[in-house]
Amino acid sequence: MTLITTESTGTADAAASTLYRLSRVVKTYPQKGRRVTALTGVDIEIAAGEFVTIQGPTGGGKSTFLQLLGALDRPTSGTVMLGGTDIARASATALGRLRAHEIGFVFQGFNLIPTLTAHENVDMALEPLRVAPAERRARVAEALTHVGLAERADHRPGELSGGQQQRVAIARAIVKRPRVLLADEPTGNLDESMRDEILALLEGLNGQGLTLIVVTHDSAVARRATRRLRLERGSVRDITR
């Protein structure tokens, strides 16, 4: 079963290529009549196929950083390159297309629609891609099988455990075959056993070539990554040992 396409993994050369390049990135927000700086001149590159974790104190800029990587926001100044697209300067239409096709998102709170089945929740991610109905059904079934929930396809979120709901969320993220998966505290609502199962699933996807970037407060999660970043007071440091 292959959920990561040739376009996503590429050749051995592509696997070592730069996926993200951030140059002199500054992000400020207005707050009570003044400007608050969330990121201060960030310069960093992330290669295709890496497993990167981001740690740091609350309010240190982690969520802002992930939003920029996910094309959900733009920097105040500097450049955020995803492949050949500058997120800082691309049109809203281009960014929407980038999020729909290239980037998968997984969140701490699962963000599933409670009235929809697991199959229907995963299927929602394919709506903007205009996939033919037969292929759409096959891709949803493949994604749910990959996360071990083929037999739960007709269950709604309320009928699933927290770990199973997060598996559905991962299936929804990978069904569109993105180049990168961005995860914000994906194990934050899970016990240790479920945490380790979800991590093993994410590591397996990374092993197939999917770039994985995870924000976490959990050092046990961070230690599993091939590269560790710390974001504090708007600055990024590589703390990989």
Asked if 144 contacts 122 with a C-beta cutoff of 8 angstroms, the reply is: yes
Per-residue model confidence (pLDDT) at position 31: 82
pLDDT of residue 10: 38
Task: Look at the chain and count its residues.
Answer: 241
Predicted local confidence at residue 215, as pLDDT: 95
pLDDT tens-digit series, residues 169-203: 999 999 999 999 999 999 998 999 999 999 999 99
C-alpha 1: how far from its chain's center?
A: 21
Quick check: 199 and 187 in contact, CB under 8 A? yes
Q: For the chain, list the domains and their CATH numbers.
A: 6-19+49-63+93-238 (3.40.50.300)
Q: What is the pLDDT of residue 2?
A: 54
Tell me which H or E stretch contains 13. helix 12-15
Tell me which H or E stretch contains 231.
Answer: strand 227-232
User: pLDDT in tens for each of the 241 residues of the chain?
Assistant: 455 553 443 333 444 599 999 999 999 988 887 888 999 999 999 999 999 999 999 888 898 999 999 999 999 999 999 999 999 999 999 999 999 999 999 998 899 999 999 999 999 999 999 999 999 999 999 999 999 999 999 999 999 999 999 999 999 999 999 999 999 999 998 999 999 999 999 999 999 999 999 999 999 999 999 999 999 989 999 999 7
Distance CA 14, CA 61 (A): 30
**Distance between CA 128 and CA 200 in Å, rounded?**
29
Residue 100 to residue 96: CA distance in whole angstroms? 6
Neighbouring residues of 158: CB distance < 8 A, sequence distance ≥ 6: 114
Helices (H), 102-238: 118-123, 133-146, 162-174, 192-207, 219-222
> 45: which DSSP letter?
E
The pLDDT value given to residue 39:
95
What pLDDT was estimated at residue 5? Answer: 53
What's the pLDDT score for residue 77? 96
Tens of pLDDT along 10-37?
333 444 599 999 999 999 988 887 888 9
Tell me the sheet residues that pair with 85. 82
Q: Would you state the structure tokens that stand for residue 111, as one six-digit string?
A: 């963000």
